[in-house]
Amino acid sequence: MDQEQPRVALITGAARRVGADIARRLHAAGWNLALHYRRGGDAMTRLLAELNAARADSAAAWPAELAEFDRLPELVALAVGRFGQLDALVNNASAFYPTSVGSITPDQWDDLFAANARAPLFLCQAAAPHLRARGGAIVNLVDIYAERPLAGHTVYCMAKAALVMATRSLAIELGPDIRVNAVAPGAVLWPESGKDYADQQQLVASTALKCSGSPGDVAEAVRWLLEDAHHCSGEIIRVDGGRHLNM
């Protein structure tokens, strides 16, 4: 790749939380950023101002509903149109809420699979020709619950498990030109709806490191997979403090 030209990453769900930390980490490493958001327009406005103040014209953003199929290739086209290339895709956007067996609806299935499995796959497909031209890479954000199910969240777990398999399958389908990996975070941020303090402490105590992580830990894993992991593809990197060992 031409290292004199800043690399370009498209990051979904980048306005807040882990997505915003990934954006900041890659930007600090010299990347130009094409950022997607669904909600949180004010947060995205602030993030863009921060990034472009640090380096002019280095970040742009577009809103999109990822459940709308036509918006997926459009996002890729907007990113390439703005920066002239695409070197990385980070599928960070996600949907998470309980689906208790006995009351699961088709709408819940469609919503959770659209955000967590369908949109990442079709974004990968749309981005592949551009990534191949640059020897680029893809990182998907998955979940430890893709392998160890979370009670009351069957559809979410199934959707993330589908994304794990997509990661591994795409590593074969898109190699050797494109590397495809995933990051599975543990307790780095609690759900926005809140989690009982005692539950939080119990979860942290179950990890090998006996401490919670940070969004920055996830962001650094994404950066490493994009920049330094030249011989890794089809890997799921757990960033969970060893929690998976005791689940």
The set of catalytic residues is: 156
Q: At 53, which amino acid appears?
A: A
Q: Cα separation of 170 and 201, whole Å?
A: 37
Alpha helices in the chain (DSSP H): 17-28, 41-54, 71-83, 106-113, 119-134, 154-174, 197-205, 215-227
Q: Cα separation of 140 and 155, whole Å?
A: 18
The 3 state secondary structure assigned to 25-88 is HHHHCCCEEEEEECCCHHHHHHHHHHHHHHCCCCEEEEECCCCCCCHHHHHHHHHHHHHCCCCE
